Amino acid sequence: MRYISTRGGAPALTFEQAMMTGLATDGGLYVPETVPTLTTDQIAAMAGQSYEQIAFTVMRPFIGDTFTDDEFRAMIDRAYAGFGHDARAPLVQLAPNHFLLELFHGPTLAFKDFAMQLIGQMFQASLTRSGERITIVGATSGDTGSAAIEAFRGLDNVDVFILFPHGRVSEVQRRQMTTPNEANVHALAMDGDFDDCQAMLKDMFNDTPFRDGVRLAGVNSINWGRVLAQVVYYFSSAVSLGAPHREISFTVPTGNFGDIFAGYIAKQMGLPIADLVVATNQNDILHRTLETGAYTKEGVTPSISPSMDIQVSSNFERALFYAYGGDGAAVAAQMDDLKSGGFEISQGAYQYLRDTFMSGRASEEETSAAIKTYLAKHGELLCPHSAVGVHVAEDHLGATPMITLATAHPAKFPDAVNAASGIKPPLPPRMADLYDRDERVTRVANDFDAIATLIKERIAL
């Protein structure tokens, strides 16, 4: 299994190389040369299996000979052993034919733990084998950073630096990044918003001397390994509702398009998914793009669902690649146009996206109202991101079962949840002392040279 760049101008890599590299040298994202498929029998056999067993079946065809079957099974087991729920990704019923997939039972209470915990295992195995040391730099609007720190803290051959927008993450998110006290963990509070952090990260990857000098590796949602790990819960949840003998739809609270893109891959692999619905908050660039065919940057307005506050949705490039039938040059041209504000998707590609994804948006008021209603009428206290999801899902309920992804635990966003519902959700007991732990954070300007120097000093180059 080889991985190719969405921009067609970088060498094809193995799974291991693509995972360790993150962004391709031509600025593109890695995708598998062909998407492996599972037979109806293989999918049917998942009924009643553990999450870990399903994870192995789904991911094994993608990893080539990077790990042996036994190694890979052991990594999967270790990755999910620390979750607070035996089912890992339990389904609860909200209403007739509407289900909630709880993806928040990992160590940092958001779905990003599913991918990051596994990536941590895979990086460690790969680095131990090669004897290399790497520097992971991540940009986060809140949840990626804490999930990365949790996955890499204390590992021998990794330093992890996380850039988050100063003052724009929730206190729980910030504390999850600033309280781990291992020496290899570096939380950096940067001036600006999430897109500034993400742009800084891209600049670091595009600066070859820096990139090579610190042996930079990325774990943002552009990392193929992340997308892959997220494919699994589409299978586990759909099978528990009757797939492959029955079609299932999904609504996904969306920001960087990683999670919903994993759903697209699941469908390519043969999972009978009817609708894939992109749910955005007021930063609705993806909804507007799917409505109009024009991707136009308009700035970010901070919302109560901050992990979806984006205007450049990096994984959307992967969807474009498939919409353009694998034409890397076409994708590269669109990404060039994006630098000057936006692009028009050509007719055929736009039609493909319209046929593949549905979309909707929730305003701030609608998000708060959903939190309140779902507590009162369905007995579920939702985080604001999940509330965006259920609000949008309501427009798509019908004969096909709908699964809305609950991407974070309500206790991760207590202020917004409290304002909407009057209830301050408590942290799960296993992290109840988070507010008492000491914080360690470095404030940095939105300045490439200053941040690059700081990183080099910290890793003593």
Ligand X SMILES: *Cc1c(COP(=O)(O)O)cnc(C)c1O
Positions touching ligand X (CB under 6 A) are 110, 112, 143, 221, 253-259, 307-308, 385, 407-408
| Least distance CB 256 / ligand X (angstroms) | 3
CB nearer to ligand X: give 211 or 409: 409
**Residues forming a β-bridge with 443:** 189
Catalytic residue among 112, 202, 267, 412: 112
Question: What is the Cα–Cα distance from 210 to 59, expressed in whole angstroms?
Answer: 32
CB nearer to ligand X: give 214 or 308: 308
Place of tokens 């001397």: 209
Question: How many residues in the chain?
Answer: 461
Question: What is the Cα–Cα distance from 40 to 303, expressed in whole angstroms?
Answer: 42
CB nearer to ligand X: give 184 or 407: 407
| Least distance CB 254 / ligand X (angstroms) | 4
As a whole number of Å, the CA-based R_g of the chain is: 20
CB nearer to ligand X: give 126 or 141: 141
Question: What is the Cα–Cα distance from 295 to 451, expressed in whole angstroms?
Answer: 30
- Beta-strand relationship, 248-253 and 402-406: parallel
Structure token digits, residue 252: 């996904």
DSSP letter at 345 equals P
Q: Examine the residue annotation and report whether 424 is marked as an active-site residue of this protein.
A: no
Structure token digits, residue 96: 């007739």
- Among 428, 261, 279, 275, which Cα is nearest to 362's? 279
Name the phi and psi angles at 247, rounded to 5. -75, 150
| Least distance CB 410 / ligand X (angstroms) | 11
Structure token digits, residue 212: 């090579």
Question: What is the Cα–Cα distance from 163 to 41, expressed in whole angstroms?
Answer: 44
Structure token digits, residue 219: 């774990």
CB nearer to ligand X: give 218 or 258: 258
- Among 19, 18, 16, which Cα is nearest to 4's? 18
Name the phi and psi angles at 417, rounded to 5. -70, -40
| Least distance CB 388 / ligand X (angstroms) | 8
CB nearer to ligand X: give 323 or 330: 323
| Least distance CB 98 / ligand X (angstroms) | 18
Name the phi and psi angles at 25, rounded to 5. -65, -20
Residues 279 and 341 sit within 8 Å (Cβ to Cβ): no
The strand ranges marked E within 200-253 are 216-217, 248-253
Q: Residue 296: count other Cβ atoms within 10 Å of its Cβ.
A: 14
| Least distance CB 306 / ligand X (angstroms) | 9
CB nearer to ligand X: give 332 or 387: 387
Question: What is the Cα–Cα distance from 281 to 66, expressed in whole angstroms?
Answer: 38
| Least distance CB 380 / ligand X (angstroms) | 16
- Among 316, 190, 342, which Cα is nearest to 259's? 316
Q: Residue 457: count other Cβ atoms within 10 Å of its Cβ.
A: 9
CB nearer to ligand X: give 210 or 257: 257
| Least distance CB 223 / ligand X (angstroms) | 12
Catalytic residues: 112
